[in-house]
Chain A
Amino acid sequence: MIEGGIGWVAAVNLVIWTGLFLYLLRLDARVRNLEKEE
């Protein structure tokens, strides 16, 4: 067990970053598709 549950804090940070990253990847793809439609 890592002191003070710091491992959990790191895990939450990683989950938030991964979620944000995947959202932005999807947004990137949508913007690209919209640009192609124009």
Chain B
Amino acid sequence: MSQDSPSAHGRAGAPPAPGGAGGWGDRGEIKPRGGGWAAGGSGLGPRGWAWRWALWLWIALAILGAFFYAPLAQDFIGQSSRILFFHVPMAWTSLVAFVAAGAWSVLYLWKRRPDDDRAAAAAVELGLVLALLATTTGAMWAKVMWHAWWNWDPRQTSIVIALVFYGAYLVLRGGIEDPEARARLCAVYAVIGLVVAPYLYFVMPWMAKFTLHPKPVVNPAGKVEMNARMLQVLLMSSLGFTVFFFWVHGLRRRLLRLADRRAVTAAGSAAS
């Protein structure tokens, strides 16, 4: 089988049979859910609406909590500690994304389902966006606290390496034309990331002898050192960001599948 999928992640190759069974535009189908509630509208069922609006409310409450419920952290300049409730969840969710990409890649190597490959690619894309946002919010905080946007602090350095590592994943995807070879090589790369990402996020900053960064929420002895209200908001925000990631990830994955199917159909039409 050598059907191509010239989607956003790849390039056109030999024209495939349109929509052929087992093809890249067909396997691993994600069926639309919901039964046309809100007639003529989104097709979301009541549950679909409920959890999405619950997520909106959850994150809105986390935002209000960050500004009005959580106290200011000691030894921080002005209101700068409030950015913690966005910066840390962004960094955390980027790690979740990279680990999820590795898990989907393991699934791809095992089952060879194109949808797992698309899921891994979508997770890496979103992980990069979140890591970039974490880096930006971190730099904003550093400007206030350390009087410089960038200091090559161990955590700053490790997240830059993570950005380069996963940026290279997307470059790899764009550089291989054959969809199966692309999926296989990218899956192996993302599985390596299962070791690299935790190392960069946890081990490398921990190994550094000096850091300007605040102490981690959970100290090396396993104890949580944070004001209870701050911890509540931080956990609320982290959970909200994680659920948000899986929602957007689902959307991106479905869009990639649609793009693959259309590309397969277009290539088939051009061939005939």
Chain B, range 8-66, C-beta contacts under 8 Å to A = 30-32, 34, 41-44, 52, 55-56, 59-60, 63-64, 66
CA separation between A25 and B67, bound complex, in Å? 26
Known contacts A4-B78, A10-B64, A35-B254; A24 and B34 CB within 8 A of each other: no
Tell me which residues from 186 to 237 in chain B have a Cβ below 8 Å from any Cβ of chain A: none
Whether B248 is near chain A, meaning CB under 8 Å from some CB there, is yes
A32 touches B67 (CB 8 A): no
Segment 1-38 of A: residues with Cβ below 8 Å from B: 3-4, 6-7, 9-10, 13-14, 17-18, 21, 24-25, 27-29, 31-36, 38
Residues of chain B within 8 A (CB-CB) of A7 are 67
Question: Quick one: which of A3, A13, A28 contacts B63, CB cutoff 8 A?
Answer: A13
Could you say which residues of chain A place their CB within 8 Å of the CB of B247? 24
Query: How many chain B residues have a CB neighbour from A under 8 Å?
Result: 28
User: Is B173 in contact with chain A by the CB < 8 A criterion?
Assistant: no
Residues of A within 8 A of B78 (CB): 4
> Are B44 and A10 in contact, CB atoms less than 8 angstroms apart?
no
* Distance (whole angstroms) from the CB of A20 to the closest CB of chain B: 9
Q: Which of B30, B43, B63, B255 is in CB contact (< 8 Å) with A29?
A: B43
Residues 115-130 (chain B) with a chain A CB within 8 angstroms: none
B144 touches A (CB below 8 Å): no
Q: Which residue of A9, A13, A18, A24 contacts B251 across the interface (Cβ within 8 Å)?
A: A24
- A33 and B43 in contact, given A6-B79, A10-B63, A24-B247 (Cβ under 8 angstroms): yes
- Residue of chain B at shortest CB distance from A27: B251
Of the candidates A4, A24, A31, the one having the most CB atoms from chain B within 10 angstroms of its own CB is: A31
Chain B residues near A27 (CB, 8 Å)? 251
Distance to closest chain A CB from B48 (angstroms): 8
The verdict on A29 contacting B42 (CB below 8 Å), with A9-B67, A10-B67, A35-B254 known, is yes
Residues of A within 8 A of B43 (CB): 29, 32-33, 36
Cβ A29 vs Cβ B32 within 8 A: no
- Besides A14-B64, A31-B258, 13 new A-B residue pairs in contact (Cβ under 8 A), listed by A number: A6-B67, A6-B82, A7-B67, A10-B68, A14-B63, A17-B56, A21-B52, A21-B55, A28-B42, A28-B52, A29-B43, A32-B44, A35-B32
A contact residues vs B (CB 8 Å cutoff): 3-4, 6-7, 9-10, 13-14, 17-18, 21, 24-25, 27-29, 31-36, 38
* In the complex, the 3 A-B pairs of residues with the closest C-beta atoms, listed nearest first: A29-B42, A10-B67, A35-B32
